[in-house]
């Protein structure tokens, strides 16, 4: 099994759902993990799950709905551990289901703030130091959602994530920093809902593939976690 011993990862939105699985998968490969949620107490369960792994883990809180909350998260990570090697931009929100004509500008803006602009702030904060050290893995959570106009803000943010991922990968070409997008599949989480195709555990091990790439691995690609699933979905 490929290992990530001694690396530090920040997984946004790892208090539950997909992010919690990613945090666990990384920790099982020896990676130290910074667990994140809007509020620190939301992350207690994930921290408890990581106790079985021989790694360091701690919680950072910050609401990505506003610039101050995102900066608070960045500041906490810069204070401890100071550097990160692996960044999973996983946290996201989905707008309330309604006819596309009724979705308000505020709902559009909130979706873009959490799902794209906060991601950009986190990449701006941590990608340059990864480049300077010659190593980094950035994984941006995307989605395979299609033909659901009731969720147009959510879908549009994910299209923007894909484009931003390709641009950032090009910016960081030949630097040792690989930037990829990840489609986790439709999963039974708070966001995915109970009718989703797969249990959340099926996101492993595929979700780890873009973090485990060798330095000459792909950058600017979209990985599908379900392609690697070994569980009955
Ligand atoms: N589930 C699916 O079927 C599916 C399909 C395709 C793509 N995805 C993508 O996978 C990622 C994870 O989805 P999920 O299903 O695990 O979602 P989830 O169960 O709803 O969990 C969302 C996570 O994001 C955090 N979060 C939400 N709003 C936040 C905010 N304003 N500021 C900071 N953190 C916030 C939550 O923290 P708190 O606990 O503190 O609220 C939680 O940890 C998302 O990018 C999603 O778009 C999911």
CB 92 within 8 A of CB 114: yes
Mean pLDDT of 10-22: 99
pLDDT at 66 over 70: yes
Tens digit of pLDDT for each residue in 138-155? 999 999 999 999 999 999
CB 210 within 8 A of CB 191: no
Q: Is residue 3 part of a domain?
A: no
For ligand 1, atom 15, which residue shows the shortest CA distance?
A: 191
Phi, psi of 34 (to 5 degrees): -100, 115
What residues contact 103, with CB distance under 8 A and at least 6 apart?
Answer: 95, 152, 153
CA distance 204 to 104: 36
CA distance 99 to 102: 6
Q: Is 154 tagged catalytic?
A: yes
Q: Is residue 80 part of a domain?
A: yes
Give the predicted TM-score (pTM) of the model.
Answer: 0.98
Q: Is residue 59 part of a domain?
A: yes
Residue 230's pLDDT is 83
State how many domains the chain has. Answer: 1
Q: Is residue 1 part of a domain?
A: no
How many A from CA of 132 to the centre of ligand 1? 30
Residue 1's pLDDT is 85
Q: Is residue 181 part of a domain?
A: yes
How many A from CA of 203 to the centre of ligand 1? 14
Q: Is residue 233 part of a domain?
A: no
Q: What is the CATH number of the domain that holds 208?
A: 3.40.50.720
Phi, psi of 176 (to 5 degrees): 90, -5
Lowest mean per-residue pLDDT among 170-184, 187-201, 219-233: 219-233
Q: Is residue 2 part of a domain?
A: no
Among 13, 181, 190, 225, name the best residue to mutate to test ligand 1's pocket (greatest count of ligand atoms within 8 A of Cβ). 13
Residue 196's pLDDT is 98
Domain extent, residue 56, equals 8-228
Q: Is residue 121 part of a domain?
A: yes
Residue 104 pLDDT class (50, 70, 90 cuts)? very high
């Amino acid at each position: 099994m490929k290992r990530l011993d001694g690396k530090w990862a920040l997984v946004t939105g790892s208090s539950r759902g997909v992010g919690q699985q990613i945090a666990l998968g990384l920790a099982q490969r020896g990676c130290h993990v910074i667990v994140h949620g809007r509020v620190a107490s939301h992350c207690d369960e994930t921290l408890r799950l990581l106790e079985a792994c021989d790694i360091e883990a701690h919680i950072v809180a910050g609401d990505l709905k506003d610039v101050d909350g995102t900066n608070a998260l960045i500041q906490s990570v810069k204070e401890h551990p100071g550097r990160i090697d692996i960044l999973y931009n996983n946290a996201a929100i989905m707008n309330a289901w309604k006819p596309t004509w009724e979705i308000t500008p505020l709902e559009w803006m909130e979706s873009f703030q959490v799902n794209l602009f906060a991601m950009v702030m986190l990449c701006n904060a941590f990608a340059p130091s990864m480049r300077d050290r010659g190593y980094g893995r950035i994984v941006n959570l995307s989605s395979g959602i299609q033909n659901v106009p009731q969720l147009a803000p959510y879908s549009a943010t994910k299209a923007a994530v894909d484009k931003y991922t390709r641009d950032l990968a090009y910016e960081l070409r030949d630097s040792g920093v690989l930037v990829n997008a990840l489609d986790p599949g439709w999963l039974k989480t708070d966001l995915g809902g109970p009718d989703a195709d797969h249990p959340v555990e099926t996101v492993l091990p595929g979700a780890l593939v873009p973090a485990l790439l060798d330095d000459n691995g792909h950058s600017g690609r979209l990985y599908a976690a379900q392609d690697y699933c070994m569980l009955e979905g």
